[in-house]
Amino acid sequence: MNKILDFLTLERGDDFCNRRYIVIKFALLSSIVLFSLFIFINLFMHQYKASVIDFISAFVAIFAYIYMQNSKNIILTIRIATFNIVIFFLIFAYISQAEHFSLIWTIFVPIFAIITNGKRVGLYFSLLFYAILFVLSYHYINVWDSGQWLFTDWMRLVLASTVLTLCMYIYEALLDKAQQDLQRARAKELQRTKELHLQSITDQLTGLYNRRYYDNMIVKLAALAKRQNLCITFFILDIDYFKLYNDNYGHIQGDEALIEVAQVLKKHIQRGDDFVFRLGGEEFAGIILSKEKQKAQQWASQLTKIIEDLKIEHRTSKISEFLTVSIGIATLSHPQENNIGLLYKDADKALYTAKYNGRNQSQISQESN
Protein backbone atom coordinates (compact mmCIF):
# COMPACT_ATOMS: atom_id res chain seq x y z
CA MET A 1 0.00 0.00 0.00
CA ASN A 2 2.84 2.39 0.85
CA LYS A 3 4.44 1.75 -2.53
CA ILE A 4 1.17 2.64 -4.24
CA LEU A 5 0.96 5.88 -2.26
CA ASP A 6 4.57 6.70 -3.15
CA PHE A 7 3.76 6.06 -6.81
CA LEU A 8 0.83 8.46 -6.61
CA THR A 9 2.32 11.27 -4.55
CA LEU A 10 6.10 11.07 -4.95
CA GLU A 11 7.59 14.52 -5.37
CA ARG A 12 10.60 15.02 -7.64
CA GLY A 13 13.19 17.73 -8.02
CA ASP A 14 12.35 21.33 -8.84
CA ASP A 15 13.31 21.02 -12.52
CA PHE A 16 11.10 17.95 -12.90
CA CYS A 17 8.09 19.61 -11.28
CA ASN A 18 8.50 22.95 -13.08
CA ARG A 19 8.70 21.30 -16.49
CA ARG A 20 5.84 18.92 -15.74
CA TYR A 21 3.73 21.77 -14.34
CA ILE A 22 3.89 23.68 -17.62
CA VAL A 23 3.16 20.56 -19.67
CA ILE A 24 0.31 19.29 -17.52
CA LYS A 25 -1.33 22.71 -17.24
CA PHE A 26 -1.32 23.11 -21.01
CA ALA A 27 -2.50 19.51 -21.50
CA LEU A 28 -5.35 19.84 -19.00
CA LEU A 29 -6.60 23.10 -20.47
CA SER A 30 -6.38 21.68 -23.98
CA SER A 31 -8.15 18.46 -23.02
CA ILE A 32 -10.94 20.39 -21.26
CA VAL A 33 -11.55 22.40 -24.42
CA LEU A 34 -11.35 19.36 -26.73
CA PHE A 35 -13.53 17.12 -24.56
CA SER A 36 -16.13 19.88 -24.30
CA LEU A 37 -16.05 20.32 -28.07
CA PHE A 38 -16.42 16.56 -28.60
CA ILE A 39 -19.46 16.53 -26.31
CA PHE A 40 -21.35 18.93 -28.55
CA ILE A 41 -20.18 17.26 -31.76
CA ASN A 42 -21.23 13.79 -30.58
CA LEU A 43 -24.54 15.08 -29.27
CA PHE A 44 -25.18 16.73 -32.62
CA MET A 45 -24.35 13.42 -34.36
CA HIS A 46 -26.57 11.50 -31.87
CA GLN A 47 -23.62 9.52 -30.57
CA TYR A 48 -24.76 9.61 -26.98
CA LYS A 49 -22.40 6.98 -25.61
CA ALA A 50 -19.43 8.90 -26.90
CA SER A 51 -20.88 12.10 -25.43
CA VAL A 52 -21.08 10.50 -22.00
CA ILE A 53 -17.45 9.38 -22.21
CA ASP A 54 -16.41 12.86 -23.32
CA PHE A 55 -18.37 14.41 -20.45
CA ILE A 56 -16.75 12.15 -17.83
CA SER A 57 -13.28 12.80 -19.23
CA ALA A 58 -13.89 16.55 -19.30
CA PHE A 59 -15.11 16.43 -15.70
CA VAL A 60 -11.99 14.53 -14.55
CA ALA A 61 -9.75 16.98 -16.41
CA ILE A 62 -11.48 19.95 -14.76
CA PHE A 63 -11.20 18.27 -11.35
CA ALA A 64 -7.49 17.57 -11.89
CA TYR A 65 -6.84 21.18 -12.94
CA ILE A 66 -8.65 22.62 -9.91
CA TYR A 67 -6.89 20.15 -7.61
CA MET A 68 -3.49 21.13 -9.00
CA GLN A 69 -4.19 24.84 -8.59
CA ASN A 70 -5.32 24.40 -4.98
CA SER A 71 -2.94 21.72 -3.69
CA LYS A 72 0.13 22.34 -5.91
CA ASN A 73 0.59 18.55 -5.92
CA ILE A 74 1.82 18.30 -9.49
CA ILE A 75 2.72 14.62 -9.40
CA LEU A 76 -0.69 13.40 -8.22
CA THR A 77 -2.38 15.67 -10.76
CA ILE A 78 -0.27 14.11 -13.52
CA ARG A 79 -1.24 10.62 -12.38
CA ILE A 80 -4.96 11.49 -12.41
CA ALA A 81 -4.73 13.12 -15.84
CA THR A 82 -2.80 10.16 -17.28
CA PHE A 83 -5.30 7.62 -15.95
CA ASN A 84 -8.03 9.76 -17.48
CA ILE A 85 -6.32 9.80 -20.89
CA VAL A 86 -5.65 6.04 -20.79
CA ILE A 87 -9.25 5.13 -19.92
CA PHE A 88 -10.66 7.60 -22.44
CA PHE A 89 -8.66 6.27 -25.38
CA LEU A 90 -9.35 2.64 -24.50
CA ILE A 91 -13.08 3.30 -24.49
CA PHE A 92 -12.75 5.51 -27.56
CA ALA A 93 -10.91 2.73 -29.43
CA TYR A 94 -13.60 0.19 -28.56
CA ILE A 95 -16.51 2.46 -29.46
CA SER A 96 -15.00 3.72 -32.73
CA GLN A 97 -14.18 0.14 -33.89
CA ALA A 98 -11.17 1.37 -35.85
CA GLU A 99 -13.33 3.25 -38.31
CA HIS A 100 -11.78 6.16 -40.23
CA PHE A 101 -8.32 5.37 -38.85
CA SER A 102 -9.51 6.26 -35.34
CA LEU A 103 -6.80 4.16 -33.70
CA ILE A 104 -4.22 6.63 -34.92
CA TRP A 105 -5.32 8.91 -32.05
CA THR A 106 -3.87 6.43 -29.55
CA ILE A 107 -0.36 7.63 -30.39
CA PHE A 108 -1.00 10.55 -28.03
CA VAL A 109 -1.11 8.25 -25.00
CA PRO A 110 2.62 7.32 -24.79
CA ILE A 111 3.60 10.86 -25.80
CA PHE A 112 1.48 12.35 -23.02
CA ALA A 113 2.34 9.66 -20.46
CA ILE A 114 6.13 9.80 -20.86
CA ILE A 115 6.46 13.57 -21.23
CA THR A 116 4.36 14.29 -18.14
CA ASN A 117 5.29 11.35 -15.90
CA GLY A 118 8.90 10.80 -16.87
CA LYS A 119 10.46 7.85 -18.66
CA ARG A 120 9.96 5.15 -16.01
CA VAL A 121 6.39 5.85 -14.85
CA GLY A 122 5.39 6.97 -18.34
CA LEU A 123 6.60 3.65 -19.72
CA TYR A 124 4.50 1.79 -17.14
CA PHE A 125 1.41 3.68 -18.22
CA SER A 126 2.19 3.09 -21.89
CA LEU A 127 2.73 -0.65 -21.42
CA LEU A 128 -0.51 -0.95 -19.44
CA PHE A 129 -2.40 0.99 -22.09
CA TYR A 130 -1.05 -1.01 -25.04
CA ALA A 131 -1.44 -4.35 -23.27
CA ILE A 132 -5.17 -3.66 -23.03
CA LEU A 133 -5.42 -1.94 -26.43
CA PHE A 134 -3.75 -4.78 -28.31
CA VAL A 135 -6.12 -7.31 -26.76
CA LEU A 136 -9.12 -5.11 -27.61
CA SER A 137 -7.95 -4.50 -31.16
CA TYR A 138 -7.24 -8.21 -31.73
CA HIS A 139 -10.46 -9.68 -30.33
CA TYR A 140 -13.15 -7.02 -30.21
CA ILE A 141 -12.59 -4.41 -32.91
CA ASN A 142 -14.37 -5.12 -36.21
CA VAL A 143 -14.25 -8.56 -37.80
CA TRP A 144 -11.09 -10.00 -39.31
CA ASP A 145 -12.63 -11.39 -42.48
CA SER A 146 -14.58 -8.20 -43.26
CA GLY A 147 -11.60 -6.65 -44.92
CA GLN A 148 -11.77 -3.60 -42.65
CA TRP A 149 -9.35 -4.84 -39.99
CA LEU A 150 -6.76 -7.36 -41.10
CA PHE A 151 -4.06 -9.11 -39.13
CA THR A 152 -1.46 -7.05 -40.97
CA ASP A 153 -3.27 -3.91 -39.75
CA TRP A 154 -3.03 -5.17 -36.20
CA MET A 155 0.68 -5.92 -36.62
CA ARG A 156 1.26 -2.45 -38.00
CA LEU A 157 -0.48 -1.01 -34.92
CA VAL A 158 1.72 -3.09 -32.59
CA LEU A 159 4.91 -2.24 -34.44
CA ALA A 160 4.16 1.49 -34.79
CA SER A 161 3.11 1.76 -31.14
CA THR A 162 6.23 -0.05 -29.96
CA VAL A 163 8.56 2.11 -32.04
CA LEU A 164 6.83 5.32 -30.95
CA THR A 165 6.94 4.35 -27.26
CA LEU A 166 10.61 3.39 -27.55
CA CYS A 167 11.44 6.71 -29.25
CA MET A 168 9.62 8.67 -26.55
CA TYR A 169 11.39 6.68 -23.84
CA ILE A 170 14.81 7.38 -25.40
CA TYR A 171 13.94 11.07 -25.84
CA GLU A 172 12.92 11.40 -22.20
CA ALA A 173 16.00 9.47 -21.02
CA LEU A 174 18.28 11.81 -22.96
CA LEU A 175 16.40 14.83 -21.61
CA ASP A 176 16.70 13.53 -18.05
CA LYS A 177 20.42 12.97 -18.50
CA ALA A 178 20.83 16.50 -19.82
CA GLN A 179 18.92 17.85 -16.83
CA GLN A 180 21.00 15.78 -14.41
CA ASP A 181 24.18 17.10 -15.99
CA LEU A 182 22.83 20.62 -15.68
CA GLN A 183 21.88 20.07 -12.04
CA ARG A 184 25.34 18.70 -11.26
CA ALA A 185 26.90 21.71 -12.95
CA ARG A 186 24.64 24.02 -10.94
CA ALA A 187 25.49 22.19 -7.72
CA LYS A 188 29.21 22.50 -8.41
CA GLU A 189 28.81 26.17 -9.23
CA LEU A 190 26.78 26.75 -6.05
CA GLN A 191 29.38 24.91 -3.98
CA ARG A 192 32.14 26.93 -5.60
CA THR A 193 30.24 30.16 -4.88
CA LYS A 194 29.82 29.14 -1.24
CA GLU A 195 33.51 28.30 -0.98
CA LEU A 196 34.50 31.64 -2.49
CA HIS A 197 32.14 33.46 -0.14
CA LEU A 198 33.54 31.55 2.83
CA GLN A 199 37.06 32.39 1.75
CA SER A 200 36.14 36.05 1.49
CA ILE A 201 34.89 36.20 5.11
CA THR A 202 37.34 33.90 6.88
CA ASP A 203 40.98 34.13 7.83
CA GLN A 204 42.93 31.59 5.83
CA LEU A 205 45.37 30.70 8.61
CA THR A 206 43.09 30.32 11.64
CA GLY A 207 39.70 29.66 10.08
CA LEU A 208 38.13 32.45 12.13
CA TYR A 209 36.00 35.16 10.56
CA ASN A 210 38.01 38.12 9.28
CA ARG A 211 37.78 41.89 9.73
CA ARG A 212 35.55 42.23 6.69
CA TYR A 213 32.98 39.88 8.20
CA TYR A 214 33.17 41.75 11.49
CA ASP A 215 32.28 44.99 9.70
CA ASN A 216 29.27 43.24 8.13
CA MET A 217 28.07 41.47 11.26
CA ILE A 218 28.45 44.06 14.01
CA VAL A 219 25.50 46.17 12.83
CA LYS A 220 23.31 43.08 12.30
CA LEU A 221 24.15 41.68 15.74
CA ALA A 222 23.49 45.06 17.33
CA ALA A 223 20.05 45.12 15.69
CA LEU A 224 19.41 41.58 16.92
CA ALA A 225 20.46 42.56 20.46
CA LYS A 226 18.12 45.55 20.33
CA ARG A 227 15.15 43.45 19.18
CA GLN A 228 15.72 40.81 21.86
CA ASN A 229 16.65 43.31 24.57
CA LEU A 230 20.17 41.90 24.98
CA CYS A 231 23.50 43.42 25.85
CA ILE A 232 26.25 43.26 23.26
CA THR A 233 29.78 42.72 24.54
CA PHE A 234 32.79 43.19 22.30
CA PHE A 235 36.37 42.31 23.19
CA ILE A 236 39.73 42.74 21.50
CA LEU A 237 42.45 40.23 22.34
CA ASP A 238 46.12 40.87 21.61
CA ILE A 239 48.95 38.36 22.10
CA ASP A 240 51.61 39.84 24.36
CA TYR A 241 55.04 40.42 22.83
CA PHE A 242 54.17 38.44 19.74
CA LYS A 243 56.82 40.15 17.62
CA LEU A 244 59.45 38.87 20.04
CA TYR A 245 57.87 35.43 19.82
CA ASN A 246 58.16 35.42 16.02
CA ASP A 247 61.73 36.71 16.15
CA ASN A 248 62.76 33.98 18.58
CA TYR A 249 60.77 30.96 17.37
CA GLY A 250 60.22 31.82 13.73
CA HIS A 251 57.10 32.63 11.75
CA ILE A 252 56.08 29.01 11.26
CA GLN A 253 55.97 28.47 15.01
CA GLY A 254 54.27 31.85 15.30
CA ASP A 255 51.52 30.68 12.95
CA GLU A 256 51.08 27.55 15.07
CA ALA A 257 50.62 29.74 18.13
CA LEU A 258 48.01 31.85 16.34
CA ILE A 259 46.12 28.71 15.37
CA GLU A 260 46.13 27.43 18.96
CA VAL A 261 44.79 30.74 20.26
CA ALA A 262 42.11 30.69 17.55
CA GLN A 263 41.07 27.18 18.59
CA VAL A 264 40.66 28.36 22.19
CA LEU A 265 38.46 31.23 21.04
CA LYS A 266 36.28 28.96 18.90
CA LYS A 267 35.89 26.48 21.74
CA HIS A 268 35.23 29.10 24.41
CA ILE A 269 32.94 31.38 22.35
CA GLN A 270 30.70 28.91 20.55
CA ARG A 271 27.04 29.92 20.93
CA GLY A 272 25.05 30.51 17.77
CA ASP A 273 24.77 34.30 18.21
CA ASP A 274 28.39 34.77 19.34
CA PHE A 275 31.27 35.29 16.92
CA VAL A 276 35.06 35.42 17.04
CA PHE A 277 37.33 37.10 14.50
CA ARG A 278 40.94 37.55 13.60
CA LEU A 279 41.32 41.26 12.99
CA GLY A 280 44.88 40.94 11.73
CA GLY A 281 48.34 39.95 12.89
CA GLU A 282 48.17 38.83 16.53
CA GLU A 283 44.90 40.66 17.19
CA PHE A 284 41.61 38.82 17.67
CA ALA A 285 38.09 39.92 18.61
CA GLY A 286 34.79 38.50 19.74
CA ILE A 287 31.13 39.46 20.07
CA ILE A 288 28.92 38.04 22.82
CA LEU A 289 25.16 38.62 23.17
CA SER A 290 23.69 38.11 26.64
CA LYS A 291 21.10 39.34 29.11
CA GLU A 292 23.70 39.93 31.82
CA LYS A 293 26.66 42.03 30.78
CA GLN A 294 28.71 41.08 33.86
CA LYS A 295 28.52 37.39 32.95
CA ALA A 296 29.60 38.08 29.36
CA GLN A 297 32.49 40.23 30.56
CA GLN A 298 33.62 37.53 32.98
CA TRP A 299 33.37 34.98 30.19
CA ALA A 300 35.68 37.05 27.99
CA SER A 301 38.06 37.76 30.88
CA GLN A 302 38.59 34.04 31.48
CA LEU A 303 40.46 33.83 28.16
CA THR A 304 43.63 35.27 29.69
CA LYS A 305 44.02 32.35 32.11
CA ILE A 306 42.82 29.74 29.58
CA ILE A 307 45.43 30.80 27.03
CA GLU A 308 48.25 31.03 29.57
CA ASP A 309 47.30 27.53 30.78
CA LEU A 310 48.07 26.26 27.28
CA LYS A 311 51.69 26.62 28.39
CA ILE A 312 52.96 27.66 24.99
CA GLU A 313 56.60 28.46 25.66
CA HIS A 314 57.54 32.14 25.24
CA ARG A 315 61.04 32.71 26.65
CA THR A 316 61.36 36.23 25.25
CA SER A 317 58.16 37.45 26.98
CA LYS A 318 58.77 40.11 29.60
CA ILE A 319 55.94 38.97 31.88
CA SER A 320 55.70 35.17 31.71
CA GLU A 321 57.52 32.10 30.50
CA PHE A 322 54.40 31.19 28.54
CA LEU A 323 52.36 32.88 25.83
CA THR A 324 49.87 35.38 27.32
CA VAL A 325 47.26 37.79 26.04
CA SER A 326 45.78 41.15 26.94
CA ILE A 327 42.08 41.83 26.48
CA GLY A 328 39.99 44.97 26.24
CA ILE A 329 36.24 44.59 26.82
CA ALA A 330 33.32 46.96 26.13
CA THR A 331 29.59 46.44 26.51
CA LEU A 332 26.51 48.27 25.25
CA SER A 333 23.36 47.62 27.25
CA HIS A 334 21.19 49.51 24.77
CA PRO A 335 22.80 49.14 21.34
CA GLN A 336 21.70 51.65 18.72
CA GLU A 337 22.88 52.21 15.18
CA ASN A 338 24.38 55.56 16.17
CA ASN A 339 26.41 54.23 19.10
CA ILE A 340 27.58 50.83 17.86
CA GLY A 341 30.86 52.38 16.71
CA LEU A 342 31.71 53.10 20.36
CA LEU A 343 32.19 49.38 21.03
CA TYR A 344 35.38 49.08 19.02
CA LYS A 345 36.69 52.41 20.25
CA ASP A 346 36.06 51.65 23.93
CA ALA A 347 37.35 48.06 23.71
CA ASP A 348 40.53 49.34 22.05
CA LYS A 349 41.02 51.87 24.86
CA ALA A 350 40.49 49.13 27.43
CA LEU A 351 43.05 46.96 25.63
CA TYR A 352 45.56 49.82 25.76
CA THR A 353 44.92 50.13 29.50
CA ALA A 354 45.47 46.38 29.99
CA LYS A 355 48.82 46.63 28.20
CA TYR A 356 49.79 49.76 30.11
CA ASN A 357 49.01 48.07 33.43
CA GLY A 358 51.36 45.16 32.73
CA ARG A 359 49.65 42.90 30.14
CA ASN A 360 48.41 39.33 30.72
CA GLN A 361 45.10 40.72 31.97
CA SER A 362 41.74 42.02 30.84
CA GLN A 363 40.25 45.46 31.29
CA ILE A 364 36.59 46.42 31.07
CA SER A 365 35.72 49.79 29.58
CA GLN A 366 33.73 52.06 31.86
CA GLU A 367 32.71 54.37 29.04
CA SER A 368 30.17 52.07 27.31
CA ASN A 369 26.77 51.59 28.94
Q: Are 125 and 86 in contact (CB under 8 A)?
A: yes
The mean pLDDT value for 9-32 works out to 68
Contacts of 366 (CB under 8 A, 6+ apart): none
The identity of residue 168, as a single letter, is M
The answer on pLDDT for 14 being more than 80 is no
pLDDT band at residue 206 under the 50/70/90 scheme: very high
Domain boundaries, the chain: 2-185, 209-364
Is 78 in contact with 117 (CB distance < 8 Å)? yes
User: Tens of pLDDT along 146-157?
Assistant: 556 778 888 888
Cα gap 67→26, rounded to integer Å: 15
Return the CATH fold of 209-364: Alpha-Beta Plaits (3.30.70)
- DSSP SS3 for 33: helix
CA distances, 52 to each of 43, 96, 103, 368 (Å): 9, 14, 20, 82
Where does the pLDDT of residue 6 fall: very low under 50, low under 70, confident under 90, or very high at 90 and above? very low
User: What value does the mean pLDDT of the chain take?
Assistant: 85
Q: What is the pLDDT of residues 165-191, one digit of tens each?
A: 999 999 888 988 888 888 899 889 989
Question: How far is residue 126's CA from residue 111's CA, in Å, rounded to a whole number?
Answer: 9
CA-wise closest residue to 335 among 277, 287, 301 = 287
Give buried/exposed letters for 102-136 (b at 16+ CB in 10 A, else e): ebeebeebbbbbbbbbbbebbbebbebbbebbeeb
Nearest to 352 by CA among 331, 319, 329: 329
